[in-house]
Amino acid sequence: MTKWIRVKHNEDIKFGTLDNDQISVHTGDMFDGPTPTSESIPLASVEVLTPCLPTKIIGLWNNFGAVAAKNGLDRPPEPLYFYKPPSGILAPGGTIVRPESYDDSVIFEGELGVVIGKRCKDVSMAEVDGCVLGYTCLNDATALPIISEDPSFAQWSRAKSFDTFTPFGPVIATDLDPQSLQVTSRLNGKVRQDYPVNDMFFSPLELVQRISRGMTLLPGDIITCGTSLGAVPMGPGSTIEIHIEGIGTLSNTFA
């Protein structure tokens, strides 16, 4: 397993592989033949950035059996998804900020993010694993009341698209079996979510395959797989931690 990380070090943005709190710096393109260098820098000396810069983030709704059972929902015939803009991304350690234009609750949603590794469209299930670089932790922050604010139009994208509403990282971990992963979310140290990825209606790789039908996915794009039970509002000053074994912990605060 390799953990790719992107950081700021002495005002320079660098990327490389993380091992035992040391970063082996690479040059070139993380997604296309990155070249290792002789430079190694300690994790403690850098500012951790998002591990990639997606052109789009695609989020899933109603993708977990436990949530569907609780809410009386059927399994959808196709993935149900919305978009979060790249302007909303936030690095690990950053602060999720409720915008001045909105004064109601914001919930966290701990999720597994699939990071696309190469340009793909209309891929088969036999090909799809080769289109994925790896996996990351993501918090799909949501101004939940906005979704149903207008009865004529469900505002999924507006509710999820504010600046700072898409923290992810700290790394992209490769060579994982996503079906074996467990997502744990803690709010101020208390476990609020602890669910298996294999409860998904559409597995991470199946999501890539199905979404690629008619939509070109680019290196660094993220499909965030949806969340399970336990997502709750964040209070001012809260700390939210999303942990996935093999990837690490994404930690952010809320203001």
The answer on pLDDT for 84 being more than 90 is yes
Residues 83 and 127 in one domain: yes
pLDDT in tens, 161-190: 999 999 999 999 999 999 999 999 999 999
- The mean pLDDT value for 110-135 works out to 98
Q: How confident is the model at residue 67 (pLDDT cuts 50, 70, 90)?
A: very high
Residues 66 and 18 in one domain: no
- The mean pLDDT value for 124-131 works out to 97
Proportion of the chain above pLDDT 70, given as a percent: 100
Residues 67 and 122 in one domain: yes
Domain of residue 41: give its range. 1-47
CATH number reported for the structural domain that contains residue 248 in this entry? 3.90.850.10
Residues 188 and 145 in one domain: yes
The answer on pLDDT for 33 being more than 90 is yes
Residues 26 and 41 in one domain: yes
Could you please report the per-residue DSSP string of 221-248? -EEE----TT--BPPTT-EEEEEETTTE
Residues 84 and 162 in one domain: yes
Residues 98 and 206 in one domain: yes
pLDDT in tens, 87-96: 999 999 999 9
CATH number reported for the structural domain that contains residue 23 in this entry? 2.30.30
Residues 27 and 120 in one domain: no
The answer on pLDDT for 214 being more than 90 is no
pLDDT in tens, 217-244: 999 999 999 999 999 999 999 999 999 9
The predicted pLDDT at position 48 comes to 98
Strands (E), the chain: 3-9, 12-19, 22-29, 32-42, 47-48, 57-61, 80-84, 89-90, 95-96, 110-116, 132-139, 166-173, 182-187, 190-196, 222-224, 239-244, 248-254
Q: What does the alpha-carbon distance between residue 54 and residue 220 come to, in Å, rounded to a whole number? A: 5
The answer on pLDDT for 68 being more than 90 is yes
Residue 206 and residue 196 in contact, taking contact as beta carbons nearer than 8 Å? no
Residues 18 and 77 in one domain: no
